[in-house]
Amino acid sequence: MTTRPRWEHIRGVLILLHILAVLLMALPAPEGAQRREAWNDPTVTAEFEAWSERLNHVGYETTPDDLKTDLFTLAQDFTEVRKTVLSPARPYARYLGTQQSWRMFVAPHRFPTRLHVELKQAEGEWETVSIYQDPDYSWKADLFEQDRFRSALFRYGWKSYSGARKLFNQWLAREAAVDFPDATHIRTRWYKVQTPTPEMVLAGEEFEGKFVLGQTLSLAPYRESP
């Protein structure tokens, strides 16, 4: 057995700690567990319905609501344990960027939302100026379709991101106050519709959606103090 210099042993320990940190960071992070209202989204509800049906099928009696409650408690506990386990590795990850919490396409979002922005002139009708990915209504489309903005818009379309969405709506109002001098109000809404099944697409059918998370703001305050 060869005798290695001491620094090679120290390096061995440090690399082992790095690997351990990366492994711990990769522990599943049920971040949604922190936002109970996100569990009421139709996509999440549909997942619970499908899983409870599957579990009943294999002999485990449960209902979607019971499963939701049990998993919410479990996820909360797990998040606490994960937080404790990760605490020694946090400074390393924070200062050297070694986070490894990957949750790519965990479950497809079957009830996506699409941003609609409308403006109102004095005593006029609402006029649509922007629909996400619609070339006929393209105000700010060059920004919205950049990957960084797509990521942000995806979050704003969730009910649980109300704080971030409110700030976004205020920003749209500040921008509209400059770009549309005659407009008096701005309204943002999200069109939420279930993605059609492949069979429906082939038959030319689609689900009926509805507007959610709407907010109307007067542009006057944004002109006075931009």
Chain positions contacting another protein, by CB under 8 A: 1-2, 4, 8-9, 11-12, 15-16, 18-19, 22-23, 26-28, 47, 50-51, 54, 95-110, 112, 114, 132-133, 142-143, 145-155, 157, 164, 167-168, 170-171, 174, 195, 197-199, 201-202
Beta strands 210-218 and 183-192, pairing class: antiparallel
**Token pair of 181 as six digits:** 């001098």
Least Å distance, CB 185 to another protein, is 20
Nearer to another protein, 123 or 147 (CB): 147
Nearer to another protein, 121 or 133 (CB): 133
Least Å distance, CB 123 to another protein, is 30
Least Å distance, CB 108 to another protein, is 3
Nearer to another protein, 19 or 81 (CB): 19
The span from the CA of 126 to the CA of 119, in Å, is 5
Least Å distance, CB 122 to another protein, is 26
Nearer to another protein, 16 or 85 (CB): 16
**Token pair of 197 as six digits:** 């099944």
Beta-carbon contacts of 137 under 8 Å, excluding residues fewer than 6 positions away, are 117, 128, 129, 130, 131
The helix (run of H) or strand (run of E) holding residue 217 is strand 210-218
Q: Sheet holding 113-121: strands in order across?
A: 126-131, 113-121, 183-192, 210-218
The span from the CA of 45 to the CA of 155, in Å, is 18
